[in-house]
Structure 1
Amino acid sequence: MWRAALSHRLRGGAAAASPWGRPGPPRPRSSLASCSASSSCWSCGLALPSASSPPRFCPSCRALQPPEPCADLFRLMGCKRTFQVDQGRLQQRFRSLQRALHPDYFSQRPQTEQDFSKQHSSLVNKAYRTLLNPLSRGLYLLELNGIELVKGTDTEADPEFLLEIMEINEKLSDANNDAKIEEMENFIAAKQEALTKGVRRAFDQDDLQEAKKLLAKMKYFANLEEKLKRKKIPF
């Protein structure tokens, strides 16, 4: 029955929910192009070097400057803007930035600077989480290229893939012991690994539409992973 219902939705009946999104209005290749940081120090007014890497400190009074309005998370974390990142280097950069920007180190500084340190720390946490996870990293790369996955419906969704997801959901619902849950966990992890490799190839070939298609599938499996986590939590 569920197969018939799904087929009806895909043929034009009630729209099937999907994480596939449609591209928004045309934008520059990088949405960061129109963003610029302040050119002078908020504390002493000295002109700041335009090429300095974030986070910026005034070369004269050493005051911490505010985060860039549209920070490039790859640049902030010292990574090349590619899908494949050096996780060891990413973690090292994260620890280094957190040590340098932790609010505790600015407790005796002006309130403005204390606020900036909190903003920087929050941004560093966001950058680390985004770039560490293949799905969020890929989605961010698409965003930098003017492509977003948005909530809604998509008539181009692959019917066979949606049927596969529904079948996996059924198996997950029926998994009522540790052995079956572990089997599903390994199966979903293997699917995600294969999709991640496909996304890497797509970005290497600059095929953004293929990357978008595969990342949308990864979102489905990420939802399944969350269901697995909840299923493993004892009541």
Structure 2
Amino acid sequence: MIRVNLLCVVGRNRTLFQPSRPFPRKLRFFKGVTCALQCKPNYSSKKGTSFPTGNCHQRVVFWDFRNIEDVGFRHFCTAQVNLNCWNCEQPLMQKPAFFCMSCQMVQPPSEGTTYFNIMDCDCAFTLDIQKLQKRYLQLQRILHPDNFSQKSLREQEYSESQSALVNSAYRTLLKPLSRGLYMLELQGLNIEEGTVSAVNSELLMELMEINEALDAAPTPQETNRIGQDTKGKLADLTQQIDSALNKGELQTAKALLTQMKYFTNIEEKVKEKLSRFM
């Protein structure tokens, strides 16, 4: 078994990811690493950057990320490689691998796989929600624990773990706020609970006024008006956050996501108040 302690980038549809700007000078390529899928690609070099030229099945290329500079969220996500099936020890040909293609056994969750990898979508703030929902239903149909009630305890355990992971990935990526917070988490940034560091005094006053108006709203119409204004603000924040993440401006994105948390709370309060009028 080959042990690889690096991260990998997997190009789909036989193409390596192509960044919109040149690779940073500090990006280094290791020519001597064998493909985890036991392929033997050849490599060529142009202006100091190496690319695979052989017939590597999944185009698995290993990079040293210790000195990499930011190249943007949309270009790639990373995941560690699980090499072999636990049952038949054949190479796992898909990443992430839910089932072994040789023996059809359900596999344990791939260590280090991101939610974006699991849901087969770009590592980006703007997602195709219909595609996300379709992927979720597809995975739950094949991984649901009920399908493994007559299988071995190990298979039942793996199906439960995989199904729970898919649920978590879907819930996280479905909403802009949780999706953005997760993207920051992947970069080592977290927003502490109750923080107001990214909210200026003017915005704090605006939030207080909105909350007071919502508490005093006498009719469903007035409550709904506040809700519509809040949706407009959230839509504007969504565009700003998307732009910040695309540019790699993580601190700006963090500040905007903090604001989004407050307006999302107001949106929830609007829904609660409207339900009382029913």
User: Whose strand proportion is higher, 1 or 2?
Assistant: 2
**Structure 2 length normalisation: TM-score?**
0.67
Amino acid at match of 2:84: S
Alignment of 1:191-230 (within 5 A): 191-230=233-272
Q: Helix, strand or coil for the counterpart of 1:112?
A: helix
Distance change >3 Å, CA 72–CA 109, structure 1 → 2: same
* Worse-matched range after superposition: 118-127 or 217-226: 118-127
Deviations 1:121-152 (A, max 9, x none): 11111111111111111111111111111125
Contact 2:82 2:111 in 1 (8 A): no
Are 2:126 and 1:84 equivalent residues in the alignment? yes
Are 2:91 and 1:48 equivalent residues in the alignment? yes
Q: Helix, strand or coil for the counterpart of 2:189?
A: coil
Supply the distance in 2 between the matched residues of 1:68 and 1:53 (Cα, whole angstroms): 8
Residue 152 of structure 2 is aligned with which of 89, 105, 110? Answer: 110
Contact 2:85 2:91 in 1 (8 A): yes
Supply the distance in 2 between the matched residues of 1:202 and 1:167 (Cα, whole angstroms): 28
Distance change >3 Å, CA 140–CA 156, structure 1 → 2: closer
What displacement does 1:169 show? 0.6
Supply the distance in 2 between the matched residues of 1:159 and 1:53 (Cα, whole angstroms): 47
Residue 124 of structure 1 is aligned with which of 154, 159, 166? Answer: 166
Structure 2 gap ranges (5+): 1-67
Question: Which residue is 2:227 aligned to?
Answer: 185
Quote the RMSD (CA, aligned, Å).
2.3
Question: Which residue is 2:17 aligned to?
Answer: none
* Worse-matched range after superposition: 54-63 or 99-108: 54-63
Amino acid at match of 1:66: P
Supply the distance in 1 between the matched residues of 2:257 and 2:198 (Cα, whole angstroms): 15
Distance change >3 Å, CA 87–CA 152, structure 1 → 2: closer
What fraction of aligned residue pairs are identical, expressed as a percent? 42
Supply the distance in 2 between the matched residues of 1:221 and 1:144 (Cα, whole angstroms): 24
Distance change >3 Å, CA 56–CA 156, structure 1 → 2: closer
Are 2:196 and 1:148 equivalent residues in the alignment? no
Amino acid at match of 2:236: A
For these two proteins, the number of residue pairs brought into alignment is 204
What displacement does 1:175 show? 0.9
Question: Which residue is 1:5 aligned to?
Answer: none
Supply the distance in 1 between the matched residues of 2:205 and 2:143 (Cα, whole angstroms): 48
Amino acid at match of 2:171: R
What displacement does 1:38 show? 4.7
Structure 1 gap ranges (5+): 1-27
What displacement does 1:43 show? 2.8
User: Whose helix proportion is higher, 1 or 2?
Assistant: 1
Contact 2:198 2:258 in 1 (8 A): no
Supply the distance in 1 between the matched residues of 2:242 and 2:80 (Cα, whole angstroms): 30
Supply the distance in 2 between the matched residues of 1:210 and 1:190 (Cα, whole angstroms): 20
* Worse-matched range after superposition: 85-94 or 148-157: 148-157
* Worse-matched range after superposition: 207-216 or 148-157: 148-157
What displacement does 1:58 show? 2.3
Deviations 1:52-79 (A, max 9, x none): 2224322332211111233300011111
Distance change >3 Å, CA 191–CA 121, structure 1 → 2: same
Distance change >3 Å, CA 105–CA 153, structure 1 → 2: closer
